[in-house]
Amino acid sequence: MGICLGMQLMCKSSEEGVAQGLNWISASVQRFNFEAQHLRLKVPHMGWNAVDVVKDDPVFDDRSILRRFYFVHSYYVSCHDRDDVLLECNYGQKFVAGFRSKNIWGFQFHPEKSHKFGMEIFKRFLEV
> Which sequence positions are flagged as catalytic?
4, 110, 112
Phi-psi region of 55 (alpha: psi -120 to 50; beta: other; left: phi over 0): beta
CA 5 to chain centre: 10
3-state helix, strand, coil in the chain (%, to 5): 20, 35, 45
- As a whole number of angstroms, the distance between CA 47 and CA 36 comes to 23
For 91, the 3-state DSSP assignment is: coil
